[in-house]
Structure 1
Amino acid sequence: MTIAAAVALAASSAMAADGTINFTGEIVAASCAITGGNGTSVTGSKGGQSIDVKLGKVSADTLAGTAGGGIAAGTAINLNLDCGATGKGLSSVKVRFDPAGGSGVDGKNNKLLQVTGTATGVGIGIYSTAGTLLNLNANETFDAPLVQGGTAEAPIYTANLALRAAYVANGNEIAAGTANGTLPFTLTYE
């Protein structure tokens, strides 16, 4: 076969559209500044803030028991959102955690955040205000209402996200050491 024939054969192949991808969404004005309440330190500017939660020193003895059970030395995570007037027309804010973008999901108990450091047998649990352990692996959200304050002429929309974080036994043998973790999150307004 000549080169010209090979080129002609290759050029005769046809392309067809196999499908369509449709993207939908909406750009909303809301972007809330976060301040930390008791037990929480917040730095940075809105849209890129860092939240530091100190879980403290916890005795391995206090973590004994059922994996994923109670809160051991839990620390409040109180986040106050100030959306100013950009929350107009919106009624709630949802927090979605991304453990894969941080230190990961615990290998023994996937409801927990995996710790980095030298400690073993523990993960970090995130609890709702009702004391329910959020399942970090299930892509659950934690929701709070946006509340209108201020005046009719100058409304201010705020929300309070009240969670708790704690070390939780994951079912493996517990060994002392540092137990840190990172957990990126996204706020969605509806």
Structure 2
Amino acid sequence: MKNVLKNSSIIMAALFSASTFAADGTIRFTGSVSATTCSVHGGAGTNGGGLSDAEVKLPKVSVDQLKADGDSAGSTPFSIIIGGEGEATCSDGEIASLHFEPQLSPMIDPSTGRLNNASSPDAAKNLQVEILNDRGEPINLYHNSNVSKADISGNKAILDFTARYKANGGKVTAGKVDTNIVYTVTYN
């Protein structure tokens, strides 16, 4: 009787473990790695920046232009230059775009996809900076939707954007504006 109970326990344990470890499906991951590597510089509308970094100076605007939630002002076109003439590793035929990095960019507001202003005693309040793509559509920086793309030709691509002030949460108060974002260049 002891052996029968012991064997039954072993069989039940085997059946139980087989049913808890049953496979339901497979997830396949595919992708590619590009040999394309391009330099990155600030273009028109920026300070030119060093390699990969640029600064966009927005104009001084009146608080009267930003009285209510959703008002915008100070539209400033700027571009990011990917690659350059004779840059052989910046392959023609690829499509370049910027991928904004929310995990590395604490200034991104996840609810609006815009950039919050730095918090300091002299900062403008109720203000965000909104980035638009080359078609004038707002880019959600948190979800990377509506991102500009450009074909690399002659070892170079130019990505065009517009930055502007956006009232968020009521009338904007006077003060300084300072925000930033981290990006990665992607190639398709």
- Judge same fold: TM > 0.5, yes or no: yes
Deviation at 1:95, TM superposition (A): 1.3
Deviation at 1:17, TM superposition (A): 10
Written as runs of structure 1 = structure 2, the 5 A alignment for 1:34-113 is 34-41=40-47, 42-44=49-51, 49-67=52-70, 69-70=71-72, 72-82=73-83, 84-88=87-91, 90-102=93-105, 103-105=107-109, 110-113=112-115
Preserved CA contact (<8 Å) 1:32 1:81: yes
What's the C-alpha RMSD, in Å, of the aligned pairs? Answer: 2.9
Deviation at 1:169, TM superposition (A): 0.7
SS, match of residue 136 in structure 1: coil
CA distance in 1, matches of 2:44, 2:97: 21
Q: Which runs of 4+ in 1 moved over 3 A?
A: 16-25, 87-90
Structure with more strand by fraction:
1
Q: Report the count of equivalent residues.
A: 167
CA distance in 1, matches of 2:33, 2:176: 41
CA distance in 1, matches of 2:34, 2:97: 14
Identity %: 30
Deviation at 1:159, TM superposition (A): 0.5
Counterpart AA for 1:104: I
Aligned match of 2:33: 27
Structure 1: gaps spanning 5 or more residues = 1-15, 150-156
Cα 1:92–1:66 change in 2 (3 A) is same
Deviation at 1:23, TM superposition (A): 5.0
Counterpart AA for 2:164: A
The normalised TM-score by structure 2 is: 0.72
The normalised TM-score by structure 1 is: 0.71
> Which of 134, 141, 144 matches 1:136?
141
Deviation at 1:111, TM superposition (A): 3.0
